[in-house]
Amino acid sequence: MAKTFPIVTVEWLQAHLADPQVVVVDCRFALMQPALGQQQYETCHIPGAYYLDLNRDLAAPVAQHGGRHPLPNLEQLAAKLAAIGINSGPPTLVVAYDDSRFAFAARLWWLLRYLGHDRVAVLNGGFQTWQQAGYPVTAEIPLPRSGNFVARLQLQQAVDIATVKTKKDLPGVVLVDSREADRYRGEREPIDPVAGHIPGAINYPWQEVTDEQNKAKPIAEHQHRWSALQDAQEILVYCGSGVTACVNLLSLALAGIDTGKLYVGSWSDWCSYSENIDP
């Protein structure tokens, strides 16, 4: 399958909005107001866009372990992707957007790649930039479509807690914490019950990937940002729950580095085991 550049502009999307080989997905979400994204979508969205919800569609229910956003049931997700017209062959180009500096669109971007569908991109600037450009919006919900999506799992793109423990201190392996610096340092923890980070992790905050206008920084900045890690054999990336870490994985892709892997459970999984927490 041909790979796709991971970012598209609002100008490009406007020009290709009627292309039957393009499917647009609205991923807007608010962690502290889980119903808000759906409400925003129903109020107005990019014409033809479908909505996928972080909690209902892009993650499974929370359990004792596995983190706050475990991987969804992949058969159910594949069926949902087919129902919004995503085809495996010839492969549909999926364009995901949000209004949160790629936080949720990047989760769908990563999940599709994990399912073996590389023709996926994130909308640069998101819904905010689309509106600022004066492009049309609608409240009309598109009808279901019939796609032929078939999952081809790329298991090597994800790691679990056992793999992190086994590999994180090996030569050639780097563990990256994607949260804000103060959360990484353990000075503040607004969500999880324990503050701190996984021993040995280094900090690359996910917000550094974009500017204040929700747009990706220039390619050269991504290359410079990851230059110290470009020769690593594996880059294991985590955040609080495996969502915003995907923004760093997108940044790695923009830098041309393909050794990044997602620790899906992330800090919320790690700190759910008492033996991992200092007394």
Place of tokens 């993650």: 59
Decide: 246 and 238 in contact? Cβ < 8 Å. no
Q: What is the CA radius of gyration of the chain?
A: 18
Helix orientation angle between 245-254 and 105-114, rounded to the nearest 10 degrees: 70
Options 27, 239, 246, 271, the catalytic residue: 239
Q: Which helix (H) or strand (E) holds 8?
A: strand 7-8
Torsion of CA 127, 133, 136, 137, to 10 degrees: 20
Of 50, 57, 58, give the one whose Cα is nearest residue 143.
50
Per the structure block, which two tokens stand in for 225? 């940002």
Q: Alpha-carbon distance 208 to 66, whole Å?
A: 26
Annotated active-site residue 27? The verdict is no
Of 187, 40, 189, give the one whose Cα is nearest residue 104.
40
Q: Alpha-carbon distance 258 to 129, whole Å?
A: 28
DSSP H helix total and E strand total for the chain = 10, 10
Question: Which residues are annotated as catalytic?
Answer: 239
